[in-house]
Structure 1
Amino acid sequence: MSATDLSDHGHDIRERFGFWRRSYAMVVKEFIQLRRDRVSFAMIVMIPVMQLLLFGYAINTTPHNLPSAVLLQEDSDLARSVLKALENTAYFRFTREVHDVDEFDNLLKSGKVLFGVEIPRGFERAVRRGDKPALLVAADATDPVAASAALGSLGMVVQTALQHDLYIGDPPEMPFEIRAHARYNPAASSRLNIVPGLVGTILTMTMLIFTALSVTREVERGTMESLLSMPIKPVEVMFGKIIPYVLVGFIQAFLILSIGVLLFGVPVLGSLTLLALLSTLFITTNLAIGYTFSTIVQNQLQAMQMSMMFFLPSILLSGFMFPFAGMPVWAQYLGEGLPLTHYVRIVRAIMLKGATVQNLQYDTLALAALMLVAMVIAVTRFRRTLD
């Protein structure tokens, strides 16, 4: 082998070793950078863990023990047997006893209960006389998934209720009937449930991202120095960045609702003014949370990642995709701390039930409290000087 060939062979070997050495150096560099980027590392670990825990423990497409109210106009052995038979189906859990029809309707409109059972006066006497009275079960069918399984279980209630009260064996015919009334969405149309919830879901995603990127964009572009040199207070910076996006969010909400009404036939039974006011409150709450994220992270990538970390549990635990009442208690507590949970209830109640502000007091106050907490944190964390 000539000297030239040996030289070329040695050069090839050095090139191959150089390739792997440089590649190894890049791999080490990326791991070091990933270790320093704590938000990205947390995303790698937390997203699969969060999805597994939420889908494994919190999500239930066949919910049980749903909150129910009873209008008991007579306290008899047969009435108690009927209520016990309803509870034995594992779908109904009686949490309220009301005294008139108005209270009955208000609980359903506000979403505090999903079912209402009315046992009329003279019910047991009418059964024993063979008059075949009717027992009313009213269901909040704005969430068809939660209502359908429970209503489908009513057929066995009559048999179970009478087993120990009137008959030893099977009765020749049913001595009373159960009239199930699916309110607000009698056809169990999924679009009546999904379209109002989409308003909140889309607004959550866009509003979080808009404002989460606002402060970090200023820092990366170098314009934050000019902003900080001005005689402006942190709260003024926050309002200056939030208010334009309130208008953007309002336009988005109007667009989604218009498409829902015109193309999908979703009704708006309540006050449009109330819906607009509470939508503005919800938009402002999400903007304040997004602004808080922008004061925590260091760059736009981290801002996007943190927004997605917040958006994932919001869409899963809010009751938009899965019945809220069917989740375990710990998941419901987490869901109550998410703005989307309260807004989904609000928009469905106004559009499908014609609910008023009196029916929505709890969710309105919860949204206002979340907005104030986010604003206080954002103003407190705002950096008056660049790091």
Structure 2
Amino acid sequence: MKRFFSPVRLRALLTKEFIQMRRDRITFGMMLGVPLMQLVLFGYAINSDPKELPAALVATSQDRYTRAMVSALEMTDYYRFNHVVGSAAEAEALIESGEVLFIVTIPSDFARKVDRGERAQILIEADATDPSAASGAISTLGTVASRALKRERGVPASQADADEGLDVIVHRRYNPDGVSQYNIVPGLLGVILQMTMVMMTSIALTRERERGTMENLLAMPASPLEIMLGKILPYFVVGAVQVAVVLAASRLLFGIPFVGSVTLLLSAVFIFVMALVLLGYTISTVARTQMQALQLTFFFFLPSILLSGFMFPFRGMPVWAQWIGEIFPLTHFLRVIRAVMLKGAELSAVALETSVLALFILAYAAIALMRFRRTLD
């Protein structure tokens, strides 16, 4: 008669589980990799108060007052003037493409008005598509600019709060009311597509292996390319339904403005979805089981969502985190959809990001085909 509890049997079962865990290297790697990744990303990469944001300076003169303004803004650590342009048209192209988040315009008669005691003005245009990225920098403008002008004029510190005749005009572009839904809802389209497309296609081949139908599939007179297309193309129908639902809801429920080209947006969505399904198919050639496929998918989701600029300002992350974020298709798609929907950007403004998405398609397709050929042995 078997005893109710046997230490020997328990030890045998534990030994068996540890051996199985050691063999399942992907699961074991997830157990260690996911917590470490969360610690690094949340501890070092995520910043809700972004600093050193890229800005463009439009100034036709280099007088001492202009230099004092620029120096004072840079000293706040919110602004990094990496573009100095001579016309408003050049600055407009920069903010439309997302290369800069602020345009600081100091008129040519600024110094003359200050010397005459007249009321001078400077214009700050902010890309407010992401209100959280611009709010901190905007809140410091008035005080910093006024104090810088007073110091340059030699006003005593005791009169630091006196009116110095300076008007700082702030123009919040694309989202003047700072509505967070304008930034979140368009980004949700990319996140939803990524979650469903990658997850469903990542189990495309692993499901065949687990069901025992992989041999029948390989016995068919079909090339690896034909098999891959047969697996991924049906999911385009699912993606099309999701795109229609999200776009309709964004307009009807949240009132998200749509000022760009529908054709350009749908073209970017098509390229993005193609990259996602090929990524999922690539994962399915690596994973042995559906559980491993889901684990690898989750391991891709977490850094992609955190480092793409969906949840936290992209420009507020350290440089190394921004470089990592560039390797995710979601990062580039978010820039395209926000630029097209909110800014009315044309193809020239989003051509670089669209080209990067197309490169993802070529890379994932090449890897998937090479991996699939190895499974034929």
CA distance in 1: counterparts of 2:353 and 2:251, whole angstroms: 24
AA in 2 matched with 1:149: G
The 1:294–1:385 alpha-carbon spacing in structure 2 relative to 1, beyond 3 Å, is closer
1:42 pairs with 2:49: no
User: CA contact under 8 A between 2:133 and 2:313: conserved in structure 1?
Assistant: yes
Over the aligned positions, Cα root-mean-square deviation in angstroms equals 1.4
The alignment partner of 1:179 has SS state of: strand
For 2:29, give the aligned amino acid: A
Quick check: 1:367 aligned with 2:354?
no
Secondary structure at 1:137 match in 2: strand
1:108-127 Cα shifts (integer Å, max 9, x gaps): 11111111100111110011
Query: One-letter code of the match for 2:300?
Result: F
Given the superposition, is the C-alpha separation of residues 52 and 385 from structure 1 closer, same or farther in structure 2, using an over 3 Å criterion? closer
Q: CA deviation at 1:22?
A: 2.5
Alignment partner, residue 230 of structure 2: 240
In structure 2, what is the equivalent of residue 156 of structure 1?
143
5+ unaligned residues in a row in structure 1: which ranges?
1-10
Shift of the alpha carbon at 1:23?
2.7
1:212 aligns with one of 188, 193, 202: 202
Over the matched positions of the two proteins, sequence identity in percent amounts to 49
- Show the counterpart of 2:134: 147
Q: Find the aligned partners of 2:5 and 2:47 in 1 and give their Cα distance.
A: 55
Q: Which residue of 1 aligns with 2:96?
A: 109
What is the rounded CA distance, in whole Å, between the counterparts of 2:106 and 2:374 in structure 1?
Answer: 64
Paired residues of 2:146 and 2:166 also in contact (CA < 8 A): no
| Paired AA for residue 92 in structure 2 | D
Distance 1:111 1:17 in 2: 66
TM-score by length of 1: 0.94
- Distance in 1 (CA, whole Å) between partners of 2:121 and 2:216 is 74
Partner Cα separation in structure 1 for residue 84 and residue 75 of structure 2: 18
Contact 1:270 1:356 in 2 (8 A): yes
Task: State whether structure 2 residue 75 is matched by structure 1 residue 88.
Answer: yes
1:149-189 per-position Cα deviation (integer Å, ceiling 9, x unaligned): 00001122223322442123136422221101111111111
Q: State the shift of 1:17 in Å.
A: 4.9
Which secondary structure does the structure 1 equivalent of 2:152 belong to? coil
User: 1:337 matched to which residue of 2?
Assistant: 327
Equivalence for 2:63: 76
Q: Which has the larger radius of gyration?
A: 1
Residue identity in the other structure for 1:53: V
**Contact 1:191 1:266 (8 Å CA) reproduced:** yes
What is the match of residue 6 of structure 1?
A: none
The answer as to 2:326 corresponding to 1:324 is no
Partner amino acid, structure 2, of 1:49: L
Output the amino acid matched with 2:263: T
1:97: which partner in 2?
A: 84
* Equivalent residue, structure 2, for 1:138: 125
Aligned partners of 1:74 and 1:254: how far apart in 2? 50
Instruction: Give the deviation of 1:35 after TM superposition.
Output: 1.0
Q: CA separation in 2, counterparts of 1:279 and 1:48? A: 32
Scaled by the length of structure 2, what TM-score is found? 0.96
Partner of 2:171, secondary structure, is strand
Partners in 2 of 1:174 and 1:189 — Cα distance?
33
> Is the Cα–Cα contact under 8 Å of residues 73 and 118 in structure 1 kept in the other structure?
no
Q: Deviation digits for residues 28-75 of structure 1, max 9, x if unmatched?
A: 211111111111101100111000000000000001000001111222
State the Cα deviation string for residues 259-294 of structure 1 (Å, max 9, x = none): 111001111110111100000100111111111100
Q: Aligned partners of 2:283 and 2:373: how far apart in 1?
A: 13
- Residue in 2 aligned with 1:168? 155
Aligned twin of 1:181 = 171
* Displacement of 1:225: 1.2
Q: Per-residue displacement from partner, 1:91-115 (whole Å, max 9, x unpaired)?
A: 0000111222122111111111111
Which shows bigger deviation, 158-167 or 197-206?
158-167
Provide the C-alpha distance between the structure 2 equivalents of 1:353 and 1:275, rounded to a whole number of angstroms.
12
Residue 142 of structure 2 aligns with an amino acid whose one-letter code is G
Whether the 8 Å CA contact 2:56–2:102 is kept in 1: the answer is yes
Structure 1 pair 17–243 and aligned structure 2 pair: CA distance change class (3 A) = closer
Aligned equivalents of 1:250, 1:79: Cα separation in 2: 51
- Aligned equivalents of 1:17, 1:61: Cα separation in 2: 54
What secondary structure is seen at the aligned counterpart in 2 of 1:168?
A: coil
Which of 292, 296, 300 matches 1:310? 300
Amino acid at match of 2:72: A
Could you tell me how far apart the structure 2 residues matched to 1:160 and 1:179 are? Answer: 16
**Residue type of the alignment partner of 1:120:** P
| 1:383 Cα offset (Å) | 3.7
- Distance in 2, matches of 1:247 and 1:101, equals 43
CA distance in 1, matches of 2:278, 2:118: 61
Shift of 1:232: 1.5
What is the rounded CA distance, in whole Å, between the counterparts of 1:130 and 1:246 in structure 2? 65
Q: Please, which runs of 5 or more residues in structure 2 have no aligned partner? A: none
Q: What is the rounded CA distance, in whole Å, between the counterparts of 2:337 and 2:5 in structure 1?
A: 64
Aligned partner of 1:287: which letter? Answer: V
